[in-house]
Copies of this chain bind each other. A is one copy, B any other.
Amino acid sequence: MSAGSRVLSIQSHVVFGYVGGKAAVFPLQCLGYDVDVVNTVNFSNHSGYGRLGGTKTTAAELSEIFQGLERNHLLLPGRLLTGYIPGADALSAVADLVDKLKSENPDLIYLLDPVMGDSGRLYVAPDVIPVYRRMLARATMITPNWFEVETLTDISLKDLPSLRRAFAVLHEEYGVPHVVISSIPLAPWLKTALPPNLSADLDPEANHLLCISSSATPAAPSASVVHAQTVQLYPGYFSGVGDLFSALLLAHFVPGDASSVARAASQALYKTHAMLRLTYEHSETLPEDDRQATDDEKDLADPLRKVRRMRGRELRLVQGQDILRGISLQGVREMQPWETFWAPR
């Protein structure tokens, strides 16, 4: 078994649909990884449906599983992926395991997705935040969303200087080698800040998301190597997209120079976007009832309205597995260097 060929994935499990482990494990397996799968929750479906059944795995249960693996010398991952872990106790149990794995194998490639919330809303207990901050130093790369960057750094991202400060804090204060933010709404200030090689081919008619990667360079601690790329935004919300992106980023990462994460991000971004397109196009073929736009009032009046919409927007991972394998993969839009990111205006 080659060192990097085994992934330990620690995140949520849902029976129906594709978020957390259900969005990450199959892609990793398709790409040739043996995946050891720890379920931090066992839920019927993701929370976007509004209602769910199931239980969270307690810290004690997680520790018992980790001890079982350890006693049998089955903790052999070359790569580690952690995602949604609800509650500080459970997260601390995972943090202890990470410390152990890292001390035994300093080469362990660890992708930490600090799943805490989105668009201004925290959906984990606030006491996980300090635990995540402690864990950051162990990570090879992290994949926070916009809100999670703000939460971890306590910096409100409202302009390029604040974004610079956030990256500096993550790299220098918390010691994170690589930061990848995969789907940033392209606010006007951000659009304006983009260098020509990124803003040139933006369709003025379309909405876009930005993917940024920032890799620390020991040479220039106050700066970092920044890459970015834009993708078109598909209307409406899709669940599990970040989980899929993180799995693909870890799968495609080949340790190397300061651009190695950007190269992996190019693959992950391309495949995730292709999967999203497949899913979106499928959702558009569904009966009108199954693709009603988000409307909290109507959803409240008829909970099944939301359920039908969610169901129709589950990732088409199985149907699109050739995308995951990169079969007939072409036209990958590489992440572009953002040379001027640290340049003072």
Contact = CB atoms under 8 A, between A and B. Distances in A.
Contacts of A49: 72, 74
A3 interface: no
Nearest to A38: B15
Contact of A33 (B15, B36, B311, B318): B318
A172 interface: no
Interface stretch (A39-47, A88-96, A272-280): A39-47
Interface stretch (A24-32, A79-87, A229-237, A332-340): A24-32
A304 interface: yes
A328 interface: no
A292 to B, nearest CB: 15
A319 B33 CA distance: 8
Contacts of A64: 53-55
A342 interface: no
Contacts of A55: 61, 64
Grouping DSSP codes into helix (H, G, I), strand (E, B) and loop, the A interface class, with mixed when no group exceeds half, is: mixed
A34 interface: yes
A194 interface: no
Contact of A68 (B30, B54, B65, B311): B54
A174 B15 CA distance: 30
B321 A30 contact: yes
B36 A51 contact: no
A318 B25 CA distance: 11
Given A39-B42, A52-B68, A65-B54, A74 B16 contact: yes
A246 B42 CA distance: 24
A15 B65 contact: yes
A36 B16 contact: yes
A275 to B, nearest CB: 14
Contact of A53 (B33, B36, B66, B308): B66
A158 interface: no
Contacts of A54: 61, 64-65, 68
State which size class the interface on A falls in: 35 or more
B69 A16 contact: yes
Interface of A: 13, 15-17, 22, 26, 29-30, 32-39, 42-45, 49, 51-55, 57, 61, 64-69, 71-74, 304, 307-308, 311, 317-319, 321
A304 B317 CA distance: 38
A45 B72 contact: yes
A123 B15 CA distance: 26
A43 B29 contact: no
B43 A15 contact: no
A289 B203 CA distance: 61
A61 B39 CA distance: 15
A155 to B, nearest CB: 37
A136 B56 CA distance: 33
Contacts of A13: 37, 39
A26 B37 CA distance: 13
Contacts of A30: 30, 321
Nearest to A9: B15
A68 B53 contact: yes
